[in-house]
Structure 1
Amino acid sequence: MADQSGWRRCKKCRALFFDGFEHSGVCAATPNHAGEHTPETGSFRLTHDAPEIDLFFNMQREWRNCWKCQVLYYGPTNGPCPGPDSPQTIDGVHYGGQSIGGAFPDDTFNFYLLMNFGAGGGQVDNWRACWKCLSLIYDKPADTGDCPAGGQHENHGNEAGVANFTLAIDG
Structure 2
Amino acid sequence: MVLDPKGNTGAQQGRRAFVVRGLGVLAGLVVAGTSSAAANAAQDDPARATRLRAVDDEWRFCERCYGMIHVYFGLGVGRCPGASNGHSVAGYQFRLPYDVPETATAQANWRYCERCLGLFYFGYPGGGWCPAGGSHLAKGYNYVLPHDVVETPTSQAYWRFCTKCYALFYWGYPTKGSCPAGGGHEAAGYNFVIPHYS
Q: TM-score range by the shorter chain?
A: 0.7 to 0.9
1:112-131 correspondence runs (5 A):
112-131=144-163
Match of residue 113, structure 2, among 66, 79, 92: 66
Distance 2:74 2:187 in 1: 30
**Distance of 1:152 and 1:8 partners within structure 2:** 19
> How far did residue 41 of structure 1 move?
2.3
Distance 2:93 2:74 in 1: 16
Which of these residues, 111, 121, 125, is aligned with residue 143 of structure 2? 111
Aligned to 2:176: 144
Q: TM-score, normalised by structure 1?
A: 0.78
User: Which one of the candidate residues 41, 47, 52 is aligned to 2:97?
Assistant: 47
Distance 2:78 2:197 in 1: 20
Which residue pairs with 2:70 in the alignment? Answer: 18
- How far apart are the structure 2 equivalents of 1:165 and 1:118? 10
Report the Cα offset of residue 170 of structure 1.
Answer: 2.7
- Give the % identical residues: 31
> What is the TM-score of this pair, normalised by structure 2?
0.68
Question: Normalized per residue, which structure has more helix?
Answer: 2
Contact in 2 for aligned 1:6/1:170 (Cα 8 Å): no
Deviation, 1:151, is 1.1
d(CA) in 2 for partners of 1:49, 1:120: 23
| CA deviation after TM superposition for structure 1 residue 125, in Å | 0.6
Instruction: Name the CA distance, whole Å, in 1 between partners of 2:137 and 2:114.
Output: 6
Q: Distance in 1 between matches of 2:194 and 2:145?
A: 7
What one-letter code is carried by the residue in structure 2 that aligns with 1:25?
G
**Structure 1 runs not aligned, ≥5 long:** 84-90, 98-107, 157-161
Where 1:147 maps in the other structure, the secondary structure is coil
Deviates more, 1:129-138 or 1:15-24: 15-24
Aligned counterparts of 1:137 and 1:118: Cα–Cα separation in 2: 19
Aligned length: 143
Residue 135 of structure 2 corresponds to 93
Q: CA deviation at 1:22?
A: 3.2
**Per the alignment, in what secondary structure is the counterpart of residue 110 of structure 1?**
strand
The CA deviation at 1:121 is: 4.1
Q: Which residue of 1 aligns with 2:131?
A: 82
Give CA-to-partner distance per residue, 1:59-108, whole Å, 9 cap, x none.
1000000000011000123101012xxxxxxx6110013xxxxxxxxxx2
The residue that corresponds to 2:54 in the other structure is 2
Q: Which runs of 5+ in 2 are unaligned?
A: 1-52
Match for 2:141: what amino acid?
F
